[in-house]
């Protein structure tokens, strides 16, 4: 019999790992915007051209997913810090999951719109 991995631990590790991933993604994001996209992204055309690059789109999408998850876990941590009772944890988890899905869905839709937009 193995020791069951506690949810609490999983959440904390996920929070830490998503955080580390964000630090890396953000670093790449900055470098990409400042060195790869010469002069920064200013005009609409520049932005559209930029996100049309498949690697960039993938990066932005990953960024979005990780940010949403990290934010949700952070909000969850704050709620627990304020003594959210065990009985309400499920409800909170569900609400946050819905939030993550909405944010990610909306963001991906936007990305698709912009990529398909006039260039």
What residues line the site for another protein (CB under 8 A)?
1-4, 6-9, 11-13, 16, 19-20, 22-23, 26, 34, 39-40, 42-45, 47-48, 67-68, 71, 74-75, 78, 80-83, 85-86, 89, 103, 106-107, 110, 113-114, 117-118
For another protein, the closer of residues 40 and 54 by Cβ is 40
CA-CA-CA-CA torsion sign (45, 41, 102, 6): positive
Nearest of 65, 53, 76, 46 to residue 106 by alpha carbon: 65
Residue 67 per-residue DSSP state: H
CB of 54 to another protein, least distance (A): 18
């Amino acid at each position: 019999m193995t020791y069951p991995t506690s949810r609490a631990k999983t959440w904390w590790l996920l929070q830490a790992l998503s955080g580390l991933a964000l630090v890396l993604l953000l670093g790449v994001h900055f470098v990409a915007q400042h060195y790869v996209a010469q002069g920064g992204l200013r005009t609409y055309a520049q932005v559209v051209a930029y996100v049309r690059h498949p690697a960039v789109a993938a990066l932005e999408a990953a960024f979005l997913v990780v940010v949403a998850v990290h934010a949700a876990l952070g909000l969850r941590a704050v709620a627990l810090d304020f003594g959210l009772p065990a009985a309400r944890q499920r409800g909170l988890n569900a609400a946050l999951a819905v939030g993550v899905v909405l944010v990610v869905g909306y963001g991906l839709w936007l990305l698709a719109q912009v990529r398909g937009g006039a260039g």
